[in-house]
Amino acid sequence: MCLFCKIVNKEIPSNIVAENDDFLAFHDINPKAPVHILAIPKKHVDSFHEVDPTIMGGMTEFIKEVAEKMAMENSGYRVITNIGENGGQEVKHLHFHVLGGAKLKWEHFSDSHPMENF
Ligand code: AMP
Ligand code: ZN
């Protein structure tokens, strides 16, 4: 069973922010912003690339609920999902990073020149 499935099953503790029958949100153990929450479907899906659109419908509403719970709906926030090797995905259970609580940086994501493929 994967790490986040164990968190869903409460076999591994997490600091839960929001939960319903289908989704769970908890604080990232290694936060990269003042607010850094992970929102996941309870059903195991490897990544965004495999997710069913019906799950994404509920996921979208759930992420908005999390943002509101953290009072970020007016100040703004960022939603990121890493996919596979180049995306930098470490945990192979679909998760959305919900980041905010301060003005976030937006920098080059790679050492290779951004225009080299144009
Ligand atoms: P990613 O690199 O997109 O796969 O993100 C995985 C995220 O999971 C990282 O930001 C980690 O800090 C976070 N993480 C790993 N283990 C735990 C855990 N036990 N509880 C909460 N967050 C975790
Ligand atoms: Zn899983």
- Residue from 30, 89, 99 whose mutation best tests the ligand 1 pocket (most atoms within 8 A of CB): 30
pLDDT at residue number 97: 99
Q: How confident is the model at residue 117 (pLDDT cuts 50, 70, 90)?
A: low
Reported as a single tens digit per residue, the pLDDT across 34-64 is 999 999 999 999 999 999 999 999 999 999 9
Q: Ligand 1 — pocket residues by CB below 6 A?
A: 3, 12, 14, 28-30, 38, 82, 88-91
All structural domains of the chain, each given as residue ranges with its CATH number in brackets, are 3-117 (3.30.428.10)
Q: What is the pLDDT of residue 113?
A: 74
Beta strands in the chain (DSSP E): 16-19, 23-27, 35-41, 77-80, 96-100
**116 phi and psi angles, rounded to 5 deg:** -65, -15
- Distance of alpha carbon 82 from alpha carbon 91, whole angstroms: 9
Contact yes or no for 41/59 (Cβ under 8 A): yes
Q: Which is the catalytic residue, given 27, 36, 95, 113?
A: 95
Instruction: Give tens-digit pLDDT for 4-32.
Output: 999 999 999 999 999 999 999 999 999 99
Q: Find out whether 59 and 40 touch, Cβ atoms under 8 Å.
A: no
Q: Return the residue matching tokens 């999390």.
A: 66
Q: Is 36 a catalytic residue?
A: no
